[in-house]
Structure 1
Amino acid sequence: MSIEIKAPVFPESVAEGTVATWHKQPGEACERDELIVDIETDKVVLEVVAPADGVIEEIIKNEDDVVESGEVIGKFKEGAAGESKPAEESKSEDKAEEKAEEPKKEEASSGDAILSPAARKLAEENDVDPSAVKGTGKDGRVTKEDVQNHISNKPAADSSASKPAEMPKVDVAQGERPEKRVPMTRLRASIAKRLVDAQQTAAMLTTFNEVNMKPIMDLRSQYKDSFLKRHDVKLGFMSFFAKAATEALKRFPAVNASIDGNDMVYHGYQDIGVAVSTDRGLVVPVLRDVDSMGLADIEKTIVDYGTKAKGGKLGIEDMTGGTFTITNGGIFGSLISTPILNPPQTAILGMHKIQERPMAVNGQVEVLPMMYLALSYDHRMIDGKEAVQFLVAIKEMLEDPARILLDV
């Protein structure tokens, strides 16, 4: 039975998508729910899986073709892998396959794993040894999710050690000036358009301050083991910044507002977006109602979003909305920067690298771990006085974390 393969139904905010990768080709067998094609929109990558066991009969929309919501992109034949062969032919092929598979059995005994095509491609792209991945699929098959989990659980030392190997060395003859032209992905094009629009439409300014991170670092050092044991998640810096920003947003409602045409919309809740860098581009999943979340809830949600982002699993609902954004360039070593607004929001907080510097404290010079903070804001909505006071409030709460608890 022939089944139409259709693009997923896109959300209202997404008009069209692009066929990113066909993981299966015509005549190639697939199992039910196995990934067959990725559709890239300007916000997320959507996966289309096989509706049943069978084969790809025809590809109608090739890679890089533009598709609309629900459009037919190919045809699938259910059960075709085993129905179209006569009994004698299938027996002879089975014998041939048994002979061909004899060396494979030897390979399997030496530690090789059974990988789905999507899992094998992901493993090759990330230089992962398939035999080191534990399979959770049928008959111990290693799925794409298994590889993603293995990559996300790799020790930091492994990832840093593998980075140099990931950079291909190109032998270039002396005097040559090579160039490589690559079409911009739909997500990258959407990011570029939004950032340019923000600079062209908003009266954007940035104010700076610096914060002594020693109190937070001492607090983390004192309670990190107990926190991990109790909540099964590490205590990071972002949860402190999210809670400090939430308290400051309640005191300065204009920073938590947005502009809609000639209207100013004040939000009575704090939904904070956290910028996450991925191979496909920058995405901003949103923490909902941060005021009602504890530090552990924030950390767990951020870890979950990070895992989803690396695997391309973030949904539209994860990134819609948001009344304020926090971005952390410090993880890449940035000492100071001017973050760009995330429309229609009117402010964004930039965190940076923690660096020890000599500071004057009560007439004495002390070496302290300092971080520059940057608040970019839309001057159409927020006055300079409010922006500066907002940033000072965050600074004071971080330098004296008890203020967050006591709301002072």
Structure 2
Amino acid sequence: MKGKIKLSQAMIVKNEEKNIERALSWGKGIVYEQIVVDTGSTDRTVELAESMGAKVYHFDWIDDFSAAKNFAIEKCSGNWIAFLDADEYFSREDAKKIPDYIRSTDESGGEGIFTMLINLDDQGNVGTSASHIRIFKKVDGLRYQRRIHEQLRHSDGHNIKVLDATQELTIWHTGYAGESGREKQNNNRNLNLILKDIEDNPDNFEMYIHLGNEYYERERFKEAEDAYKKYIDHLPEEIKGTDADAANAFLYHFYCLLQQEREVQTLVDAYNYAVIRIKENADIPYIMGRCLFDAGLYDESCQCLQESVRRLEKFGTLNKSQLAMQNINYIYEMLSEGSLRCADLKSAVRYASSIISVNKFSVKGLYLLLSAFKGDGKSPVPVKDVISYLSKIYNFSYEKDREFVKATADAAGYKDIFGEL
């Protein structure tokens, strides 16, 4: 090990009395010091932070998150920094792992650690996710840049050497939930800072995805479409599979077209371009497949959904394809029903079987399977063969299994399925 690890926890705050105690609790026992930079609180944030032992400094707000964060970095006396916002936290289990990951990173000459960040909604449900460098070494020239959506960068431009701990360390973020999220949108703070940053740095096209997000949240879809397009037009030819920003730009550009009810050919062109540029992300073919399914274009829908499943199986979901993964059961339902409507009964059986193999009490899955066995009604699979197939999944000596299959079979056209045996 290169030397003793001293971890400073740092944050900038304003009116965070609801969050400050939790924000300062997760690091107890592993951090060397806690640095809180207040940018003008009028509630009890400062009082609470000081009562918990944090060192509190004051910084006059100048519409620049990087300036405030860099001020906090200068106040840190540790050789490593964990920089989380007041509405973000590690679980206690993950916090205990942090010192070991810092030592591993330090020993390998690294300067930062990639962690997963997951956004939570009002009910605490998991929303979007992304990876961030929130734990980093305090070295000269490594500071935040940009007024908002700030990024940690070396002043000379060379890359930060990082350890990827996205599978092991997760930051939970509540800031976009409830009243807090609505307030950030309603006061236009973020939107104004983004526009100002673009005005100051017109060639910084990375900010256009954030501009698109702000417009999209306000349902200003044409402006959002244009912003996403500017970002997409300046992406490199080779896009990394884990580039979540690039994938989201393509995805939300597509959403903007849908919201404006643009002509079908425009949607098809946008989709074809997106799947070529974003080769590993399964969300884009999932959304296109869903749109085509809703439009009754089942053959085309199945092609897109099959591509989504292929990408999930081949490339996984690390920092990508969260939407498709969260809706995988729905994807198989659409594939089964789409195949059924296209008279591809073999595929319909295969996809429906995948559904009930995971959840045997899926009404939709079993109904689609039995409907595929029924076919057009002229030459249905014999009842004894249906029962034989289902007995691999259901235990018919159990009343729950038997009654579930019977009720679903009645709906699918196999009336009194057990009585026919």
* Fold-level similarity (TM above 0.5): no
Give the strand-richer structure, 1 or 2. Answer: 1
Higher helix residue share: 2
- TM-score by length of structure 1 reads 0.28
TM-score by length of 2: 0.27
